[in-house]
Amino acid sequence: MIVSPSITTAVRVAALSALDLLFPPVCVSCDRLLSDRADALVCGVCWARTARLAAPRCERCGHPSDGHACRWCPLLPAYVRAARSSCWVGPGTALAIVHALKYGGWTAVAAGMAKRMARLGFPDDVVRERTAIVPVPLARDRERERGYNQSALLGQALGESWRIPMWGDVLHRSRTTETQTRLTPEQRRHNVSGAFRAAPGVRRRLRGAHVVIVDDVVTTAATLNACAAALFDGGARIVSYATFGRAPAIGDQIDTTGELLDGNSRRH
Ligand SMILES: [Zn+2]
Ligand SMILES: [Zn+2]
């Protein structure tokens, strides 16, 4: 029997509506019932709870900075022009959102995260020059297990907002690396050093390009720096970073409003 596509679509829509009645959509972070599904499975309260990086921020790396020597910039190689993250990721709402995307299989969350990343205020020259987005690649076996690369989902949606292509094929992960969560900054650098390389045959595309590397979270920038080094070796002229979350660096203290607390003195 030949079933027309419109009938199968109608059946699918009906089945999904029935599922919604049985399992009404709830926020992936707080389990509240969602009034609609417009903003990617996260409720308005949770989006509002994600803590912005406090201003004033360093023009280059986007880290809260009082105009004196920036603590975060020294992490970045000279060919990295700018880095931006839309919120802090500590224990709490933003981490729950990241985990829902990364480990929970809730791929639709990427749209809401990318929407916030699209609003990041990059310097004008970055906005003018950015040629393409490159997602941090996952190890092949990890991607097979998960079924998707969360950075590529973010990169795809971000590229659509910025109207630039995502080059998902220019960077290869040449070896599997240990998960970084429990490693010290030095161990992280060692762990990912040389783990990425530019794919064969992409030099012509990369030559002279300003690429924006996308990841879900940046902690010590070890992974992003290893990707940037591979792209730079592959011919890219300059690199910027965009992530949804940023883990506070040593010395950063944040409260739930995202205000940076410096040592014991709260800055206003
Ligand atoms: Zn919520
Ligand atoms: Zn800086």
- Residue ranges per domain, the chain? 52-266
The protein residues having their C-beta less than 5 angstroms from ligand 1 (an ion) are 27, 29-30, 32, 43, 46
The correct CATH number of 52-266 out of 1.10.287, 3.30.70, 2.30.30, 3.40.50 is 3.40.50
Over residues 84-102, the mean pLDDT reads 93
The predicted model scores a pTM of: 0.85
Q: What percent of the chain has pLDDT over 70?
A: 82
Q: What is the mean pLDDT of the chain?
A: 86
Residue 213 in tokens: 């590397």
In this predicted structure, what is the pLDDT of residue 263?
A: 36
Measured in Å, residue 130 CA sits from the centre of ligand 2 at: 20
| CB-based contact 122:174 (threshold 8 Å) | no
d(CA 3, CA 5) in angstroms, rounded, equals 6
pLDDT digit string (tens) for 159-211? 999 999 999 999 998 776 767 777 777 777 777 878 899 999 999 999 999 99
Measured in Å, residue 20 CA sits from the centre of ligand 2 at: 46
pLDDT digit string (tens) for 111-138? 999 999 999 999 999 999 999 999 999 9
Of 40-44, 79-83, 235-239, 262-266, the one with minimum mean pLDDT is 262-266
Measured in Å, residue 70 CA sits from the centre of ligand 2 at: 5
Ligand index nearest the alpha carbon of residue 76: 2
How far is CA 102 from each of CA 99, 106, 150, 151, rounded to the nearest angstrom? Answer: 5, 8, 6, 9
Ligand index nearest the alpha carbon of residue 82: 2
Measured in Å, residue 61 CA sits from the centre of ligand 1 at: 29
Of 65-79, 157-171, 251-265, the one with minimum mean pLDDT is 251-265
